[in-house]
Amino acid sequence: MANRSEYWNPKNETLTRDELRALQHYKLKHLCEWAYAKSAFHRRRWDAAAFHPDLLRTLDDIERIPFMTRAEWMDAQAEAPPFGPLLAVPPDLAVRYHTTSGTTGRTPLRVLDGMKDWEWIAEMWAYGLWGFGLRPGDIVLFAFSYGTFIGFWGAHYACEKIGCLVLSTGSATTESRVKSIIDMGVTTVCSTPTYALRMWQAAAEMGIDLARDSQVNKVIVSGEPAGSIPAVKRQLEAAWGAKVGDTAGMTEIGTIMIFECSHQPGGTHIIEDNFIEETLEHASDRRVPYGERAERVVTSFGRGFIPLIRYRTNDLVVKVPHATCACGRTGDIYEGGIQGRWDDMKLVRGTNVYPRAVESIVRECAAVDEFQILLTREGVVDEISVLIELKPGRADHWTALCERLQVDLADAHEGLRFKVSQAQPNSLPRFELKAKRLVDTRPVAEYSA
Ligand SMILES: [Zn+2]
């Protein structure tokens, strides 16, 4: 029967909080029993910490489970390459192999999925895509490389499941993607926020106004925190003449765990029937109340091959109650999506600087094309500069823009003085995936304290 609901899973997305907790407890117990029986990695760690799945008498007993970290995962992978003792299923039953994108230059994290895992991965994306308004008949273009990085792979399968026509543009140039969007009557585009801006710029250079000339009414972004930055979203929505919806996932999970619904509440719902998202003080085990900055710690119920239980993500989030959104979903919300990484935070002359906060301010200026944050040390003093590339034809905006940015950046950072300077056109790096706009050239060792 056709789904006429605004929810992909009308039952689970509207459970009461008590029902949700009961479901989470039930699933947690089964997941832990599975992991203990099947994964040498988990069994070893839990035995050492005197944890056993029988101890999970209530949902709050989740606090008895030791945290899992990326470092442990990487060590385990190195101990017995290629996958380490994490696997809970023999590798010959896998149907997919993926990795992290490797932007940090380290060995990537490697994951395997079985048929059931892969089905679940698509299912989670379906919650998000349907929730933002995707329906059968939509024509969806993926501006995505289709490499080993897991990225939008699951979203592609979710579109097929919903009944959309999918255009996979793996190795296409930006110009040919723009051409496909027009020629094929594409209604939905999936990309990173940065690349959605790139496509719009390329289209403008081709004499195409995407807001006027395309059928696109939804742009679904992932892969960077910028999708929930109001100024970025406003620019993208104006540029495309479409609604922009944020999502976020992780290779460790294989899919998304949060998505923005079509009511656009300024944040992303957590898919709580499939994940437990604890919000704790960074690098501690103290629970953080609604509305405060926290590190998200995730337990995922969907991937049988690699059970992910109390995994410290290092993601910076602010959780608010589900009732913040009027859509009726009972999954709580991360206000502003994933707000960044805890290790992205920089200390400059005693002041905390978050790249996302700087981006929020810089993107308020419509004349900015690209930018970079530069941290340097001059003598013994740290300096923070923002290099700005203006959009073509906006040079006369410079003086006013520069003054405004200096004031706004200082105001948002306890008076910290930012140098704002202009970069030559096309001199700053452009990104298609996971933009990295902060360059820190300061010696590292002195900051270990
Ligand atoms: Zn909602």
Same domain for 372 and 276: no
Q: What's the domain range around 214?
A: 1-343
The closest of 68, 64, 126 to 306, measured between CA atoms, is: 68
Same domain for 356 and 334: no
**pLDDT value at position 447?**
41
| Residue 317 located in a structural domain | yes
Helix (H) or strand (E) holding 268: strand 267-270
User: Stretch 260-274: mean pLDDT, rounded?
Assistant: 97
Q: Which of 68-72, 133-137, 362-366 is predicted least confidently?
A: 362-366
C-alpha 8 – ligand 1 centre gap (Å): 12
C-alpha 113 – ligand 1 centre gap (Å): 30
What is the C-alpha separation between 362 and 372, in angstroms, rounded? 10
Got the DSSP string for 101-118? --TTSSPPPEEEE-HHHH
C-alpha 104 – ligand 1 centre gap (Å): 34
C-alpha 339 – ligand 1 centre gap (Å): 18
Domain harbouring 375, CATH code: 3.30.300.30
Which residue in this structure is represented by tokens 């005197």?
50
C-alpha 126 – ligand 1 centre gap (Å): 15
C-alpha 292 – ligand 1 centre gap (Å): 20
C-alpha 131 – ligand 1 centre gap (Å): 8
Same domain for 74 and 50: yes
Same domain for 313 and 275: yes
C-alpha 259 – ligand 1 centre gap (Å): 9
Same domain for 225 and 92: yes
C-alpha 319 – ligand 1 centre gap (Å): 14
C-alpha 398 – ligand 1 centre gap (Å): 39
| Residue 394 located in a structural domain | yes
Sign of CA dihedral 152, 156, 162, 165: positive
- Residue 418: strand, helix, or coil: strand
Same domain for 293 and 204: yes
DSSP state of 305: S
C-alpha 246 – ligand 1 centre gap (Å): 12
Same domain for 26 and 8: yes
User: Stretch 90-118: mean pLDDT, rounded?
Assistant: 88
C-alpha 269 – ligand 1 centre gap (Å): 7
The closest of 128, 96, 62 to 297, measured between CA atoms, is: 62
| Residue 428 located in a structural domain | yes
| Residue 302 located in a structural domain | yes
Out of 298, 326, 343, a domain closes at 343
**pLDDT value at position 172?**
94
Same domain for 94 and 1: yes
Q: Which of 13-17, 95-99, 204-208, 361-365 is predicted least confidently?
A: 361-365
pLDDT of residue 134 exceeding 80, the answer is: yes
C-alpha 299 – ligand 1 centre gap (Å): 22
Same domain for 339 and 297: yes
| Residue 449 located in a structural domain | no
C-alpha 239 – ligand 1 centre gap (Å): 24
C-alpha 332 – ligand 1 centre gap (Å): 9
| Residue 315 located in a structural domain | yes
Q: What is the pTM of this model?
A: 0.89
Domain harbouring 177, CATH code: 3.40.50.12780
Which residue in this structure is represented by tokens 């009027």?
326
C-alpha 3 – ligand 1 centre gap (Å): 18
Into how many domains does the chain fold?
Answer: 2
Half-sphere exposure (Cβ direction) of 327: Cα atoms closer than 13 Å: 29
Residue 365 structure tokens:
């200026």
**pLDDT value at position 141?**
98
Same domain for 367 and 334: no
| Residue 432 located in a structural domain | yes
| Residue 446 located in a structural domain | no
Mean pLDDT value across the chain: 93
Out of 278, 313, 343, a domain closes at 343
Same domain for 33 and 68: yes
Same domain for 436 and 303: no
User: Stretch 40-67: mean pLDDT, rounded?
Assistant: 98
∠ CA(78), CA(83), CA(88), 5° rounding?
130
C-alpha 175 – ligand 1 centre gap (Å): 34
Out of 343, 359, 392, a domain closes at 343
Q: Which of 51-65, 271-285, 381-395 is predicted least confidently?
A: 381-395
